[in-house]
DNA sequence: TCATTAAATTGTT
DNA sequence: AACAATTTAATGA
């Protein structure tokens, strides 16, 4: 609790590379907004005019298909930015971003984003790396598409919370409730609870109150049931 | 520091 | 979806 926009920016590789003046402009241009648990941070179809960063909390990026099927693309948390794809293409938003718990987000205007893009080398490299991470993530997702076994999907859902580029989990203690894991993975809380039991028996993690302790990250990634 | 209470989370049906 | 049990956090003596 108590994370600030300044800390988020200075904690990122591109933010560290900013001059005082550049940092001042970024912090001055970017506004903050709070969202309650369950609130829509943005909706599919909206015009995209901000780069969105999570200052505090947990969001899920998901989409409901025309046939009504819910697909969750990713969970994003403190320090993660998203929306750059649609900003660059000037297209409408392609997914919803929903707060899973009370959250605070940063909204960087398009003009500021474009200015960084035009002037800052570290920012460009960061974006390039981010696109690369996303590409790897979706390639892996396609590869596992047929893997419908809930235990394995919950395992991968948890493992996906560990990616240094997105500043997600830094310790082996993942502070996330089983209900939130359920929203992220698309299963019922009961099924998640059952899956966690299986993964705990396999020695991959330890279930605690309000958190999951990751004991074997690679084991979670490789888990097939 | 301890006891009490409310809220959140979990385990189970 | 509902319920009881457990854990945490907040409060005040």
A172-A178-A187 Cα angle (round to 5): 120
Distance of C1' in C9 from CA in A40, Å: 28
Predicted local distance difference test score (pLDDT) of residue A145:
75
A52 neighbors A41 (Cβ within 8 angstroms): yes
Q: Where are the beta strands (DSSP E) in chain A?
A: 31-35, 40-42, 50-56, 58-64, 70-77, 81-82, 96-99, 103-109, 173-174, 205-208, 211-214
pLDDT band at A1 (very low <50, low <70, confident <90, very high): low
Distance CA A137, CA A143 (A): 10
| Strand B lies under 7 A from the Cβ of residue A177 | yes
CA of A197 to C1' of C12 (A): 39
Q: How far is the CA of A190 from the C1' of B9 (A)?
A: 13
Which nucleotide has its C1' atom closest to residue A189's CA? Answer: B10
The answer to whether residues A42 and A92 touch, using CB atoms and an 8 Å cutoff, is: no
Q: Is the pLDDT of residue A68 over 90?
A: no
The whole-number Å distance from A70's CA to C11's C1' is 42
- Segment A119-140 shows an average pLDDT of 95
For residues A213 and A205, give the distance between their C-alpha atoms in angstroms, rounded to a whole number. 5
Q: What is the distance in angstroms between the CA of the first residue and the CA of the last residue of chain A?
A: 36
The mean per-residue pLDDT over the stretch A184-192 comes to 96
Inter-residue contact A161 to A77 (CB < 8 Å): yes
Q: Which nucleotides of B are covered by protein (CB under 7 A)?
A: 8-13
More confident residue, A92 or A148: A92
Output the pLDDT for position A170: 76
pTM: 0.92
The answer to whether the beta carbon of residue A13 comes closer than 7 angstroms to any atom of strand B is no
- Which nucleotide lies nearest residue A1, CA to C1'? C9
CA of A161 to C1' of B7 (A): 27
Which nt is closest to the CA of A211, judged by C1'? Answer: B9
Q: Mean pLDDT in chain A? A: 94
The distance (Å) linking the CA of A193 with the C1' of C1 is 16
pLDDT attached to residue A180: 97
Q: Which two tokens stand for residue A57?
A: 């909390």
């Amino acid at each position: 609790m108590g994370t600030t926009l300044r800390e988020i920016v200075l904690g990122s590789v591109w933010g560290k590379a900013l001059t005082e003046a550049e940092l001042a402009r970024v912090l001055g241009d970017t506004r903050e907004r709070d969202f309650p648990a369950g609130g829509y941070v943005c909706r599919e179809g909206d015009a995209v005019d901000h780069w969105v960063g999570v200052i505090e909390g947990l969001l899920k990026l998901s989409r409901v298909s025309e046939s009504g099927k819910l697909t969750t693309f990713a969970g994003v948390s403190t320090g993660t930015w998203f929306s750059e794809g649609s900003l660059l293409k000037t297209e409408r938003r392609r997914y919803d971003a929903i707060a899973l718990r009370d959250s605070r987000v940063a909204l960087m205007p398009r003009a500021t984003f474009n200015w960084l893009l035009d002037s800052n080398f570290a920012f460009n490299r960061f974006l390039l790396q981010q696109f690369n991470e996303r590409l790897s993530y979706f390639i892996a997702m396609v590869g596992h598409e047929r893997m419908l076994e809930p235990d394995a999907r919950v395992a991968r859902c948890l493992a996906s919370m560990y990616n240094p580029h997105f500043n997600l989990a830094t310790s082996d203690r993942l502070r996330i409730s089983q209900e939130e894991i359920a929203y992220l993975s698309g299963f019922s809380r009961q099924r998640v609870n059952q899956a966690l039991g299986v993964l705990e028996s396999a020695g991959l993690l330890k279930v605690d109150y309000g958190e999951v302790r990751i004991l074997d990250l690679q084991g979670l990634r490789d888990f097939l049931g």
